[in-house]
Amino acid sequence: MIKEFPKEKSLEIYRLLRLGRRFEEKSIELGDQGEIPGSIHAGIGMEAIGLGISLALQKGDITRRTHRGHAAMIAEGADIKYMFAELFGRVTGTNKGKGGSMHIAGISGVLGSNCHMAAGVALAFKIRNEKRVAVGYFGDGAANQGPVHEAMNMAAIWSLPVVFVCENNLYAVSTSVKYSSLLENLSQRAKAYGFKGITVDGMDVVSVYKAAKELLEAARSGKGPSLLECKSYRFCCHSAGTSRLNLHYRSDEEVEKWKERCPIKLWSDKLINEKTCTADDLKIIDEKVEKEIEDAVDFARNSKFPDIEDAFKDMYATPYAGIPQKGWG
Rounded CA separation 98/101 (Å): 10
Cβ neighbourhood burial of 32 (10 Å; 0-12, 13-18, 19+): middle
Does residue 105 interact with another protein by CB under 8 A? yes
What's the DSSP call for residue 326?
P
Rounded CA separation 266/269 (Å): 5
Does residue 34 interact with another protein by CB under 8 A? no
Rounded CA separation 177/140 (Å): 7
Q: Which of 56, 73, 75, 118 binds another protein (CB under 8 A)?
A: 118
What's the DSSP call for residue 175?
E
Is 222 or 324 the residue whose CB approaches another protein more closely?
Answer: 324
Is 158 or 235 the residue whose CB approaches another protein more closely?
Answer: 158
Distance of CA 211 to the CA centre of its chain: 17
Q: Which of 173, 192, 245, 315 binds another protein (CB under 8 A)?
A: 315
Q: Which of 117, 218, 228, 236 binds another protein (CB under 8 A)?
A: 117
- Least gap, CB of 122 to another protein (angstroms): 8
- Least gap, CB of 74 to another protein (angstroms): 18
Rounded CA separation 237/32 (Å): 13
Q: Is 275 left (phi over 0), alpha (psi -120 to 50) or beta?
A: left
- Least gap, CB of 93 to another protein (angstroms): 7
Is 110 or 170 the residue whose CB approaches another protein more closely?
Answer: 110
Does residue 110 interact with another protein by CB under 8 A? yes
77 in Cβ contact with 105 (< 8 Å): no
- Least gap, CB of 116 to another protein (angstroms): 3
Does residue 173 interact with another protein by CB under 8 A? no
Q: Which of 68, 81, 98, 238 binds another protein (CB under 8 A)?
A: 98
Cβ neighbourhood burial of 253 (10 Å; 0-12, 13-18, 19+): exposed
CA angle 253/240/15 to nearest 5° reads 80
Q: Which of 10, 63, 66, 94 binds another protein (CB under 8 A)?
A: 94
Q: Which of 121, 142, 212, 300 binds another protein (CB under 8 A)?
A: 121
Does residue 69 interact with another protein by CB under 8 A? no
Does residue 150 interact with another protein by CB under 8 A? yes
Residue 242 burial (CB count, 10 A): 15
**Which stretches of the chain bind another protein, using CB under 8 A?**
62, 64, 93-99, 103, 105-106, 108, 110, 113, 115-127, 134, 146-147, 150-151, 153-154, 157-158, 313-318, 320-324
